[in-house]
Structure 1
Amino acid sequence: MITVNDISVQFGGTTLFSNVSFSINENDKIALMGKNGAGKSTLLKIIAGVNKPSTGNISAPKETKIAYLPQHLLTKDEATVFEETSKAFAEIFEMKSEIDKINETLTVRTDYESDEYMTLIERVSELSEKFYAIEEINYEAEVEKVLKGLGFERKDFTRATSEFSGGWRMRIELAKILLQKPDLILLDEPTNHIDIESVQWLEDFLINSAKAVIVISHDRAFVDNITNRTIEVTMGRIYDYKANYTHYLELRKDRREHQQKAYDEQQKMIAENMEFIERFKGTYSKTNQVQSRVRMLEKLQLVEVDEVDSSALRLKFPPAPRSGQYPVVVNELSKNYDQHIVFKNANLVIERGQKVAFVGKNGEGKSTMIKAIMGEIDFEGSLEVGHNAKIGYFAQNQASLLDEELTVFETIDQIAVGDIRTKIKDLLGAFMFSGDNTSKKVKVLSGGEKTRLAMIKLLLEPVNVLILDEPTNHLDMRTKDIIKKALKDFDGTLILVSHDRDFLDGLAEKVFEFGNKRVKEHFETITSFMEHKKMESLREIEK
């Protein structure tokens, strides 16, 4: 058991949380929840030993192994994918190497009675006991299984890690963590950089093979599937629920209603007593009663109502100008880079007003198809963008394309034209940028804030075809819900590339699946598609 004992954290004069305590049991799967800025990532870093608390400590048995996957990584690029992942077993390999060295030394030494000889005997006995207690593992097979589960192909194993994007390097770090089989895995937004199939594989691993897990994630379906406990960080305190995320939301609602009722009753009682004190404070016969009530109010423990994140994001896309009946028609489209075929003879038709999802493993051509629609790449076959189709495009790296040196206000002021120029502050306020926040430089914004700012840029001109490539990365659940509602109400055509099932659910009415160098059309919702995919993969296992 790992115990968090009276942890407090202060930054400057601000208290992030105080006297937080809880225990982590052997098979707990915990979701760490709370609004952005509540201190979730800070708490995770303290448990991981990366940060130190202002007061309090973490206690755990001596041999306890804790592994931590942060939100952003700084990886070195000196090894292949397979070599880097195999470092998960470095401790075991080093142990074996030390045992072999000591045994070699013992065979040539003859000072059997010396203290040094006895120290070597004790050391090799201790190491051997540890080493032979580890169940026999086929290390190469384990590395291959985890890498393939996380979306790598066998041909990737010998490629240098430096050839891969940040998201794929994150998967390598995740693979190393899973292979170490630690007592506690700490994950900060693990699903941001992996596709739907890899998320499913990760879920299965965490449920069936991992010990204790604490996860911060904005992927509601992922959190619901893997967790059995929710710890909410709010107003410097924590609330611990033996429930998954959806059940926790119901329990939290009940708790806040009770708090509000108790708060209202206490305020009424305080007002009545204050009125009595004011009325009779100069009356001699009531002096004792007045003093008694003053003392009672001074000692009163005030009821607090937990904060509700009430900053409202009132998001509405401008009315879409009418386009032709078929904004996108693709016929026998093929794309390859040198010898690498991305897809062959792809056909897809998207009608006006349709909302469709592009899904499939990373590298199977979803973003390539978008680039073809945007006219950014050459290809074989034909692709027609329909009459009067005005495309708005949100790229996966849109937030990183913002000018870091501009302020929030300047970013929007530069591109706003016409009447909207007089309403920039209103628009920024609708996206939770108000007051001093509008004069912040882009470089100091969080990932979620940058994504929201990039979304505002997309809103500034009326479009009738919206293409969104992973729009929900770095957005909290509340903001995602509001954007999802706005997209439901959007009266144009929507193409969504996303691995977030909860976000796609209820939005996409048709699914285009990218895989095996083909594009396959499914006339079903994402939920039906996922059910059908799980059955299909089970049949593959049986084969």
Structure 2
Amino acid sequence: MISVDAVGVEFNGNALFNNVTFNINDNDRIALMGKNGAGKSTLLKIVAGKNTPTSGKISAPKEAVIAYLPQHLLTEDNCSVFEEASKAFAKIQGMKTRIDELNHQLETRTDYESDAYSKIIEEVSELSEKFYSIEDVNYDAEVEKTLIGLGFERSDLNKPTSQFSGGWRMRIELAKILLQKPDLILLDEPTNHLDIESVQWLEDFLKTSAKAVMVISHDKTFVDNLTNRTIEITRGKVYDYKTNYSHYLELRKERREQQQKQFDDQAKEIAEIKQFIERFKGTYSKTLQVQSRVKMLEKMEIIEVDEVDTSALNIKFPPAPRSGNYPVIVDNLAKRYGDHVVFEGASFTVARGEKIALVGKNGQGKSTLVKAIMGEIDFDGTLQVGHNSMIGYFAQNQASLLDENLTVFQTIDEIAKGDIRSKIKDLLGAFMFSGDAIDKKVKVLSGGEKTRLAMVKLLLQPVNLLILDEPTNHLDIRSKDILKDALKAFDGTLILVSHDRDFLDGLADKVLEFGNQRIKEHLEDINGFLRNKKMENLREIERKV
């Protein structure tokens, strides 16, 4: 059991949270929730031993292994994917090397009666007991199985890590954590760089093979499927619910309703007391009663109502100008880079008003198709963009197109038209820009902040064909809900690349699946697609056995 005991954190004299206390038990699957800035990542780093709290402590058994995956990490480029992942077993391999060294000393030394010889015997006995108690496994096979589960191909395993993007390096780090079989796994937004199949694999692994897990994630489906406990940080306090995320939301709503009732009752009581004091403060016969009520007010502990995410903020895209009947027509489309075939033989149409999800493993051509539609790359075959198609495009590099000399507020203010002008601050707040942040220059924003600002800007532009490539990576749950509601109400055509199942649920009515150099059309929503895909995965696994 790992204990978080009266932990507090202060920055510049301001408390982020105080007196946080809870235990983490074997088989706990904990979702750490709270609004952005509440201190979730800070608390995770403290539990991981990466940060030191201002007050309180973390207690864990001496032999406990705690593994931590941050949102961003730096990796070295001096080995292959397989070699990097194999570092998960460095401690075990080090033990074996040390045992061999000690045994060699015992064979070659002759000072059998010395203290030094006795210490060698002691050390080799202790190490051997630990080493031989570890389950005998085929480490190379475990490394390969885990890396393939996280989306790597066998041909990738001997490639240098320097050839892979930050998202793929994050998967290597995740593989190292899973291979260690730690007592507690701490994950900060682990699904941001995973495709749908890899998220499912990770979910299954954590449910069936991990011990204790604590995760921060904005993927509601992932959190719901994985967790059995939810810890919320709000107003510097924690609330501990022994249930999953969806049920926690219901319980939190009930808690806030109770708080509001208590707050209203107390406000009424305070008003009555103040009225009595004001009425009788000059009346001699009521002096004692007035003094008693003054003391009562001084001692009264004011009830607070926890912050509520105002996710009811209703943002809509401007009305979509009418396009032709088929905004995109694709016939026998192919894309190759030299001998490498991304996809070929693709034929489909996108009808006006359709909302289509592009899904599949990373590297199978989703973003390539988007670039082809945008005219950014050459291709073979036919791809027509229909009459009067006005495209709104959101890509991961969209942030680089912002004017760096404008402030956050100015960026939105210069394009906002009509009624939305009175809601600019609310809209920016919904996408995690509030207070002084709206006056920051774009050039000082982080990559994630620029991405969110580019999304807000897109929300305000009149288009009839929206193409969004992984729009939710830097959004919290509230922001994603607001964007999803806006997209559901959007009366134009939507093409959406996303690995976020909850975001796609109820949004996309058709799926284009990318894989094996093909694009396959599924005339069903994401849930129907995933049900069928799960069956296909099982058959594939059976064929491999």
CA contact (8 A) 1:431 1:452 kept: no
Which residue identity does 1:186 align to in structure 2? L
CA contact (8 A) 1:32 1:230 kept: yes
Distance 1:426 1:267, change over 3 A: closer
Per-residue CA distance 1:464-496 (angstroms, 9 max, x = gap): 110000101121111111111111111111000
CA contact (8 A) 1:68 1:186 kept: yes
1:92 corresponds to which residue?
Answer: 92
Q: 1:3: how far off?
A: 0.1
Partner Cα separation in structure 1 for residue 453 and residue 485 of structure 2: 18
SS at match of 1:190: coil
1:278 corresponds to which residue?
Answer: 278
Distance 1:361 1:192, change over 3 A: same
Q: 1:404: how far off?
A: 5.4
Which residue identity does 2:79 align to in structure 1? A
1:542 corresponds to which residue?
Answer: 542
Q: How does 1:381-460 map to 2 (within 5 A)?
A: 381-399=381-399, 402=402, 406-412=406-412, 416=414, 420=417, 426-427=423-424, 429-432=426-429, 433=433, 436-445=436-445, 449-460=449-460
1:364 corresponds to which residue?
Answer: 364
Q: 1:399: how far off?
A: 3.4
Partner Cα separation in structure 1 for residue 168 and residue 253 of structure 2: 38
Distance 1:304 1:424, change over 3 A: closer
Distance 1:157 1:12, change over 3 A: same
Distance 1:312 1:386, change over 3 A: same
Q: How many residues align?
A: 540
Partner Cα separation in structure 1 for residue 400 and residue 501 of structure 2: 24
Partner Cα separation in structure 1 for residue 18 and residue 399 of structure 2: 34
1:226 corresponds to which residue?
Answer: 226
Partner Cα separation in structure 2 for residue 278 and residue 24 of structure 1: 52
1:326 corresponds to which residue?
Answer: 326
CA contact (8 A) 1:142 1:179 kept: yes
2:172 corresponds to which residue?
Answer: 172
SS at match of 2:97: helix
Distance 1:231 1:423, change over 3 A: closer
* TM-score, length basis structure 2: 0.96
Partner Cα separation in structure 2 for residue 34 and residue 456 of structure 1: 22
Q: 1:406: how far off?
A: 4.6
Q: 1:525: how far off?
A: 0.6
Which residue identity does 1:182 align to in structure 2? P
Which residue identity does 2:356 align to in structure 1? V
2:315 corresponds to which residue?
Answer: 315
Q: Where in structure 2 are there 5+ consecutive unaligned residues?
A: none
Distance 1:529 1:29, change over 3 A: same
Q: How does 1:138-177 map to 2 (within 5 A)?
A: 138-177=138-177
CA contact (8 A) 2:311 2:481 kept: no
Q: 1:303: how far off?
A: 1.4
Q: How does 1:285-364 map to 2 (within 5 A)?
A: 285-310=285-310, 313-364=313-364
Per-residue CA distance 1:268-292 (angstroms, 9 max, x = gap): 1111111112212222222222222
CA contact (8 A) 1:16 1:236 kept: yes
Q: 1:298: how far off?
A: 1.6
CA contact (8 A) 2:311 2:482 kept: no
CA contact (8 A) 2:452 2:474 kept: no
Partner Cα separation in structure 1 for residue 383 and residue 78 of structure 2: 42
Partner Cα separation in structure 2 for residue 296 and residue 428 of structure 1: 40
* TM-score, length basis structure 1: 0.96
1:68 corresponds to which residue?
Answer: 68
Partner Cα separation in structure 2 for residue 384 and residue 428 of structure 1: 39
Q: 1:94: how far off?
A: 0.7
SS at match of 2:191: helix
Q: Where in structure 1 are there 5+ consecutive unaligned residues?
A: none
Partner Cα separation in structure 2 for residue 425 and residue 81 of structure 1: 52
1:513 corresponds to which residue?
Answer: 513
1:494 corresponds to which residue?
Answer: 494
CA contact (8 A) 2:311 2:478 kept: no
Identity of aligned residues (%): 71
